[in-house]
């Protein structure tokens, strides 16, 4: 039975810090690629695999990571994920050549895929009622701040020390979280029933990995896409007929959750693409170093934190649906403002002012999207629901960046390219807004249905 806690205690910081490590790592790579390439003598094509190898396994194993906790116990799986991620981080930092760092990034991605959905499922186990809603709000806030703060932190670490320290830092933090989780984190107390859907697991890993590769890969992308379509089609059929599916299809019978998934997909696609192209714009147009590039994202991080602090109050007052719509409007507006101002006006005018709007909007949106994505799910499939939320998040990142790069690859003037990229990003963000309009604003929804005593 889930405990009805009146205070967050130590459990929430353990969960959030463990999740934060994953997000931080993703962003650190953005500001470290030049140094990694120089140290390990990697060309551009090989360097791309430092990110792609991680994305491949992280995206491919997400559903497995979510469901395995439902079957074998979330605390146990959480601890395994922490160890895998920490060991992978250590080996990435110790890498001496391209094959080693690519292999270890793939290994690290498996740890992340187990850890990410399990953190959310554990949060749902340990809190309920208003405390659960507030905990999910903190979780969504962490998702946004981890990405933007990672840009700042990555720039500082890479410039002042070495890119390796960004990965080494995960090891003591991960081990500390491991020891604290053993002592303080509790499972939900249910008897875990059912067997792991082996066929569904294999098909989901192959299908999702092929889909990620068709987006982020460098060769044979079209064949990979067809493989993913066929494999995922068979996967859906298998999930329909097996007794204990890795992805229960009843998760998609709720219009609210479906709208939240779609809105999250496009929001993350636009936001992540914005981070990607703006990082390059700051270095190419203004000549910023990795350190300055990282610090340049502070105008996102600070307003985002301020916005996140308002989520609980605003969600109670106007509801998640209206809050998501307002946030999407702000974020889309921020991209259009950047286009209108133009890079030639300088960093403080053309970049900072839209960043403030973007940061505040992002601070408002991720928490309610997370709450709607896991709302009204049965406790025994909370891990699977968390896996879907994180899978949508991961694929949004990959698809958003790929679309923007593909549609602007023929533009050789960088300032013009950035202008067009932001228009595309604004359109992607607009799709998130359209999906959010289908959310019903008058429903009182429990993040996860209460466990029965």
| 105-145 tens-digit pLDDT | 999 999 999 998 898 888 888 887 778 878 888 887 787 77
Q: What is the mean pLDDT of residues 79-100?
A: 94
CA atoms within 13 A on the CB side of 119: 33
88: Cβ–Cβ under 8 A, 6 or more apart, which residues? 104, 105, 107, 108, 109, 110, 111
Residue 267 has pLDDT above 90, yes or no: yes
Q: What is the mean pLDDT of residues 239-250?
A: 86
Residue 434 has pLDDT above 60, yes or no: yes
CA 408/CA 9 separation, integer angstroms: 48
User: Could you tell me the pLDDT band of residue 147, with boundaries at 50, 70 and 90?
Assistant: confident
**Matching residue, tokens 């109050």:** 313
CA 137/CA 166 separation, integer angstroms: 27
Between the two ends of the chain, the Cα-to-Cα distance in Å is 6
Residue 177 has pLDDT above 90, yes or no: yes
146 contacts 19 by C-beta, under 8 angstroms: yes
Distances (CA, A) of 64 to 87, 111, 197, 200: 20, 11, 9, 9
**Matching residue, tokens 């303080």:** 184
Alpha-carbon dihedral 54, 57, 58, 64, rounded to 10 degrees: -170
315 contacts 367 by C-beta, under 8 angstroms: yes
Domain range annotation of the chain: 11-196+244-436, 197-243
164: Cβ–Cβ under 8 A, 6 or more apart, which residues? 93, 94
28 contacts 157 by C-beta, under 8 angstroms: yes
158 contacts 151 by C-beta, under 8 angstroms: no
Number of H helices, E strands in the chain: 17, 0
Q: What is the mean pLDDT of residues 167-185?
A: 93
CA 205/CA 235 separation, integer angstroms: 10
CA 408/CA 270 separation, integer angstroms: 15
273 contacts 431 by C-beta, under 8 angstroms: no
Residue 436 has pLDDT above 50, yes or no: yes
Residue 1 has pLDDT above 50, yes or no: no
Q: What is the CATH number of domain 11-196+244-436?
A: 1.20.1250.20
């Amino acid at each position: 039975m889930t405990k009805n806690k009146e205070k967050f205690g130590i459990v929430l910081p353990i969960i959030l810090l463990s999740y934060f490590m994953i997000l931080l790592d993703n962003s650190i790579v953005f500001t470290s690629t030049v140094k990694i390439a120089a140290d390990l003598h990697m060309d551009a094509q090989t360097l791309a695999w430092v990110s792609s190898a991680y994305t491949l396994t992280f995206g491919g194993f997400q559903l497995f990571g979510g469901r395995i906790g439902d079957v074998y116990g979330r605390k146990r799986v959480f601890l395994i994920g922490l160890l895998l991620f920490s060991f992978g981080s250590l080996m990435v930092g110790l890498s001496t050549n391209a094959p080693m760092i690519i292999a270890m990034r793939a290994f690290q991605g498996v740890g992340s895929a187990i850890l990410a959905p399990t953190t959310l499922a554990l949060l749902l186990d340990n809190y309920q009622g208003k405390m659960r809603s507030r905990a999910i709000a903190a979780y969504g806030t962490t998702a946004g701040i981890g990405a933007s703060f990672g840009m700042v932190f990555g720039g500082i670490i890479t410039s002042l020390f070495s890119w390796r320290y960004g990965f080494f830092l995960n090891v003591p933090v991960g081990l500390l979280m491991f020891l604290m989780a053993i002592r303080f984190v509790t499972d939900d107390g249910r008897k875990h029933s059912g067997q792991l859907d082996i066929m569904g697991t294999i098909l989901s890993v192959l299908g999702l990995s092929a889909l990620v590769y068709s987006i982020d890969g460098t060769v044979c992308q079209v064949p990979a896409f067809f493989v993913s379509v066929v494999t995922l089609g068979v996967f859906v059929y298998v999930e329909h007929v097996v007794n204990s599916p890795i992805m229960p299809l009843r998760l998609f019978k709720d219009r609210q959750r479906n709208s939240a998934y779609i809105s999250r997909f496009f929001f993350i696609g636009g936001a992540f693409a914005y981070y990607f192209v703006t990082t390059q714009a700051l270095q190419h147009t203004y000549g910023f170093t990795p350190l300055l590039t990282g610090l340049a994202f502070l105008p996102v991080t600070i307003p985002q934190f301020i916005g996140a602090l308002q989520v609980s109050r605003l969600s109670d007052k106007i509801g998640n649906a209206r809050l998501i719509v307002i946030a999407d409007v702000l974020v889309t507006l921020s991209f259009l403002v950047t286009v209108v101002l133009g890079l030639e006006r300088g960093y403080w005018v053309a970049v900072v002012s839209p960043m403030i709007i973007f940061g505040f909007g992002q601070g408002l949106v991720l928490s309610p999207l997370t709450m709607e994505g896991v709302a009204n799910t049965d406790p025994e499939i909370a891990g699977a629901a968390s896996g879907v939320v994180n899978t949508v998040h991961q694929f949004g990142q990959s698809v958003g960046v790929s679309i923007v790069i593909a549609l602007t690859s023929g533009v050789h003037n960088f300032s013009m390219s950035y202008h067009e990229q932001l228009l595309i990003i604004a359109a992607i963000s607009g799709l998130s807004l359209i999906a959010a309009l289908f959310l019903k604003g008058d429903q009182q929804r429990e993040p996860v249905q209460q466990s029965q005593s």
